[in-house]
Amino acid sequence: MASSPPTEPTEPTEPTEPTEPSEPTEPTDEPGYAAGRASRHTSAPPGGTDPSGSAEPAPVDWEALRLRAVELMERAYAPYSHFPVGVAGLVDDGRVVAGCNVENAAYGVGLCAECGMVSELHATGGGRLTAVYCVGRDGAPLMACGRCRQLLWENGGPGCLVMTPEGVLPMSEVLPQAFGPANLGGGDARP
């Protein structure tokens, strides 16, 4: 399986005011950036484009993704665990897709928030996830479970950026040595 080159860190900038999702910016005072870690990723992985069709990747508005994830978290159906989760993802064409967890009395068939987000991704035209922000009840970054890391890998690939409690990391670090379509011997080797 081919992997993308490591993502180069960008230099921090002065704090910016939050903007509308249509005007992506880089937050500099966002909680969750790990000190000393190259976590100020601001662009889509190689090959992503902004909505205008430019070859340059669109910057990630992490605050807009966080706010959308919080909005969906508030709609979660979690009567058993009382642990609502919301997630929002930026698609390579500029769309934002989102989801929330939906529990069931048959505990094993509950759906994680990422499942809802990936379902919306495909229901609204497909594409590749370039950035993902998942939150719990307090609105802070929440790490995806193992099953959901696999979903993110399959729908975003190694360069998809994920906000984690340790800061922004590419999927290649969130799910190292990932199993993917190429391991199955052909077909759509998406990542």
Q: Phi, psi at residue 183, to the nearest 5°?
A: -70, -15
With respect to residue 35, please indicate whether it lies within any of the assigned structural domains. Answer: no
With respect to residue 104, please indicate whether it lies within any of the assigned structural domains. Answer: yes
Please identify which of the residues 114, 154, 166, 173 carries the catalytic annotation.
114
**How many residues are given for the chain?**
191
Q: What gap in Å lies between CA 92 and CA 112, rounded to an integer? A: 22
Domain CATH for 72: 3.40.140.10
Is residue 114 flagged as an active site residue? yes
Per-residue pLDDT of the chain (191 residues; tens, 9 = 90+): 343 444 443 343 333 343 333 333 333 333 333 333 333 333 333 334 444 444 456 789 999 999 999 999 999 999 999 999 999 999 999 999 999 999 999 999 999 999 999 999 999 999 999 999 999 999 999 999 999 999 999 999 999 999 999 999 999 999 999 998 889 986 555 55
Strands of the sheet with 161-164, listed across from one edge: 96-100, 86-91, 129-135, 161-164, 167-170
Q: Which two tokens stand for residue 46?
A: 């190689």
The model carries a pTM of: 0.71
With respect to residue 131, please indicate whether it lies within any of the assigned structural domains. Answer: yes
With respect to residue 51, please indicate whether it lies within any of the assigned structural domains. Answer: no
Domains in the chain: how many in total? 1
Q: Which residues contact 75 (CB under 8 A, 6 or more apart)?
A: 86, 100
With respect to residue 77, please indicate whether it lies within any of the assigned structural domains. Answer: yes
Look up the domain containing 79 and give its range: 62-175
